[in-house]
Structure 1
């Protein structure tokens, strides 16, 4: 059996390719939308992708299930659980809808669906059995049900799908799923989750890529509550201090439920000249994404540019600052090379930002502006209408600049109309997220002044001040 984990550090997302080496068939579980990585892996191992599935309707990235099926002819398998309100839509008419116990056969390998609601009502996990080695399952693809050291959060339907207090039923479902399905498995079964550390789909995800049922049974934070049968204690602990949910999650939920648009072969990106781009900027035909570090952006960037620094977090930060449902203008990247631009576009595709038109490698010949900044020691020199902390709630609670209000970076653009007129001072922890969010709020028409070095610099300046005798 071939079992490969393909991990996207940007979105902390894991997908899996499982293949039978005897028959050359493979199944992909929870694929992302830029699918070449799966095609390359299958080709490298002399396999054909015959099936593709996903554990649930995801909220944090756009699924590649339809894309991969369209490219390879693989059969799509999706959940039919969860009740009428949680069925997949029109884009999945040709898919096989699975209930608890449904088996997908891939050569000698069996992939059995286990209905594990809680994170979402339709959620499935998959028990994988390598029939050539054993008649018993050895792997549990847990999706967003069980992570290393954590379980999936049940509040995203309230946060991202318009639900009202669904988190309580979800938490009770999670407790039951752990009790009735997960903890009935043998200790040796390997647990392979769909997310790792850094994902907003849980609050305490471990950085280790996999676990076992036995390890989680003994060491996970939730295990004592299950041992004691303490459902209410579990619910209270689970729902306390969950991280902020990014606003773009709502769009991911809607698009993944209906079925993401199929991209097909992508056209090469166009390299713009300074004169062409200058004309486009004059008519506001395009939006520029400046992919440089904020220290360079602060020395000068294109008026109205969005700052998404580097490819490593392009999907995460890109979805904070650009809403393709509200924005009709295509994107032009300020980036080092054509190869870097293509890689950056792949990351944006993972969150449904499909309108990257081209790129430019230099600011030479273009008008530039310097974003407003202020030293942390000079805050009293500005009569600001708002001091805005764009970190997560947990960071804000742990310590913040006095007088600051918190609005996480992944939600700021969607609440820009609620911000006051006048100057807004903004900060994050070190300045990276601050520059991203500030660029979006400036483009939305706000007068933004970034605190240089953000909270870290303010804290250093405050603690270094001499005390009065």
Structure 2
């Protein structure tokens, strides 16, 4: 048997290629939209991908299952559990199999048994893996999707928060409690291979370790320490992070089927002239992916800065509108990577791009900037005219913040921009300076003239021993 894990750090998404080396048959579990890594690895190992297995309708990335069916004729294996409104619609256009609890799939000597494991979503299934040649009656691993993670379990509140399914959070939390009883009954040696790692918003305390075992999770996973259903439900629903706004759209995209990549046009390189700048501003969003330091010194007025790093996809999902043409400022070598990342969450309308060096040729009236300041510089301002803005999350704010600061989480800043004064300097901060730099670009794009970003953020302020309000 062959088993290979693939991990997308930007999405904190794990997927798996599993195959029988004797027959050459293989499947991919929870594939991402870019299927080239799976195809390349399968070819290298002499395998044919004959099926794409989904654990549930994903909310945080565009599934690559339809891409697999269209490109290589893979059979789509999807859940037939749960209510009718949460079944994949698009599979009817391709060879497919709708799965119920207890169904089996075979790929040569590889056997998968379907387990209905609702809790994160009502239709969620997991796949119990058997190596038919080495141990035909002893399970080897559980592909747990968003059911059980390392150290955590899938959040049950997404359908209510992002899809408007009223009252579903508690109902799914109770289903999760009973699904976990079934999980705990599996042999302790069974490996747990989840669909996400640390950084994913599909849970609240995911571990960074790529895999675990049933036995280990029974010992250390907080969710498996609860034996009272009501107490478990209360604990599971408490403290779940804010759900990214794009999750609602992803649910629908993956239900009806995403556009195929072959249907998308690649962005054209363009010369950044004065006329082009006016056209960009009139027709869409200018997205600059340079590091914050470079953007702060000199950038195209009105542009949004989301630096190209491992948090890029998260903040693009929160802040980039899906129905607006995107004009990209990025180096030529970076463009394909940024394009792949945006497409992984369904932001498909990137129409053109220009290199950041083109900014040097533009007139000064087209250019903007903002200042970086240190905590020492900010200290005298807390009782002055500077408007302090904290863009951290609610839980961070509750643990302490700068005196007299106002709180607007970064994800809600654009919607709250009318609350920000325009007749005073605005100094923005977050935990360490990354989110506040993005916020500074939003403030400048909305015409706030005097914007300052506090380097090092709240952590640097705290290390200096400066005053904090609870």
Asked if structure 1 preserves the Cα contact closer than 8 Å seen for 2:280 and 2:327, the reply is: no
Aligned to 2:89: 89
Aligned to 1:168: 170
Residue 333 of structure 1: how far off its partner (Å): 2.5
Alpha-carbon distance between aligned partners in 2 of 1:442 and 1:69, rounded to the nearest angstrom: 45
26-35 or 311-320: bigger deviation: 311-320
Aligned to 1:455: 458
Aligned to 1:132: 133
Q: Which of 428, 445, 449 lines up with 2:430 in the alignment?
A: 428
Deviations 1:312-341 (A, max 9, x none): 33322211221113x2x2x2322232x321
Asked if structure 2 preserves the Cα contact closer than 8 Å seen for 1:33 and 1:63, the reply is: yes
Aligned to 2:25: 25
Alpha-carbon distance between aligned partners in 2 of 1:438 and 1:235, rounded to the nearest angstrom: 39
Alpha-carbon distance between aligned partners in 2 of 1:295 and 1:238, rounded to the nearest angstrom: 40
Structure 1 pair 218–460 and aligned structure 2 pair: CA distance change class (3 A): closer
The within-5 A match list for 1:339-350 is 339-350=333-344
Aligned to 1:184: 185
Alpha-carbon distance between aligned partners in 2 of 1:407 and 1:315, rounded to the nearest angstrom: 21
**Where do 5+ consecutive residues of structure 1 fail to align?**
none
Structure 1 pair 133–63 and aligned structure 2 pair: CA distance change class (3 A): same
404-413 or 229-238: bigger deviation: 404-413
Task: Give the alignment's TM-score, normalised by structure 1.
Answer: 0.90
Answering whether residue 243 of structure 2 is matched by residue 245 of structure 1, we say yes
Structure 1 pair 25–150 and aligned structure 2 pair: CA distance change class (3 A): same
The within-5 A match list for 1:178-217 is 178-179=180-181, 181-217=182-218
Alpha-carbon distance between aligned partners in 2 of 1:410 and 1:92, rounded to the nearest angstrom: 37
Aligned to 2:308: 310
Deviations 1:76-131 (A, max 9, x none): 11111111232222465433211111222111111221100001101111111111
Answering whether residue 68 of structure 2 is matched by residue 74 of structure 1, we say no
Structure 1 pair 133–419 and aligned structure 2 pair: CA distance change class (3 A): farther
Aligned to 1:64: 64
Asked if structure 1 preserves the Cα contact closer than 8 Å seen for 2:289 and 2:329, the reply is: yes
Alpha-carbon distance between aligned partners in 2 of 1:448 and 1:243, rounded to the nearest angstrom: 32
Deviations 1:22-55 (A, max 9, x none): 1111111111112211111111111111100211
Residue 67 of structure 1: how far off its partner (Å): 1.4
SS of the counterpart of 1:336?
coil
Structure 1 pair 80–402 and aligned structure 2 pair: CA distance change class (3 A): farther
Aligned to 1:353: 347
Q: Which of 276, 290, 296 lines up with 1:292 in the alignment?
A: 290
Asked if structure 2 preserves the Cα contact closer than 8 Å seen for 1:92 and 1:259, the reply is: no
Residue 147 of structure 1: how far off its partner (Å): 0.5
Asked if structure 2 preserves the Cα contact closer than 8 Å seen for 1:269 and 1:342, the reply is: no
Structure 1 pair 440–283 and aligned structure 2 pair: CA distance change class (3 A): closer
Structure 1 vs Structure 2 CA RMSD: 2.5
Structure 1 pair 222–311 and aligned structure 2 pair: CA distance change class (3 A): closer
Alpha-carbon distance between aligned partners in 1 of 2:87 and 2:449, rounded to the nearest angstrom: 44
Alpha-carbon distance between aligned partners in 1 of 2:274 and 2:92, rounded to the nearest angstrom: 41
Answering whether residue 159 of structure 2 is matched by residue 157 of structure 1, we say yes
Structure 1 pair 442–245 and aligned structure 2 pair: CA distance change class (3 A): farther
SS of the counterpart of 1:15?
strand
Alpha-carbon distance between aligned partners in 1 of 2:443 and 2:91, rounded to the nearest angstrom: 34
Residue 344 of structure 1: how far off its partner (Å): 1.1
Deviations 1:346-393 (A, max 9, x none): 011111111223332212212311136665233444364xx5432222
Alpha-carbon distance between aligned partners in 2 of 1:448 and 1:324, rounded to the nearest angstrom: 29
Aligned to 2:49: 49
Residue 177 of structure 1: how far off its partner (Å): 0.2
192-201 or 455-464: bigger deviation: 455-464
Aligned to 2:253: 255
Answering whether residue 12 of structure 2 is matched by residue 12 of structure 1, we say yes
Alpha-carbon distance between aligned partners in 2 of 1:283 and 1:294, rounded to the nearest angstrom: 21
Asked if structure 1 preserves the Cα contact closer than 8 Å seen for 2:119 and 2:174, the reply is: yes
Asked if structure 1 preserves the Cα contact closer than 8 Å seen for 2:318 and 2:411, the reply is: yes
Structure 1 pair 39–450 and aligned structure 2 pair: CA distance change class (3 A): farther
SS of the counterpart of 2:262?
coil
Structure 1 pair 81–404 and aligned structure 2 pair: CA distance change class (3 A): farther
Task: Give the alignment's TM-score, normalised by structure 2.
Answer: 0.89
Aligned to 1:335: 330
**Where do 5+ consecutive residues of structure 2 fail to align?**
none
Asked if structure 1 preserves the Cα contact closer than 8 Å seen for 2:370 and 2:444, the reply is: no
Structure 1 pair 426–279 and aligned structure 2 pair: CA distance change class (3 A): closer
Deviations 1:125-184 (A, max 9, x none): 1111111111122110001110011111111112211122321111110100011x2011
SS of the counterpart of 2:55?
coil
SS of the counterpart of 1:60?
coil
Deviations 1:215-238 (A, max 9, x none): 11112112221xxx3111211221
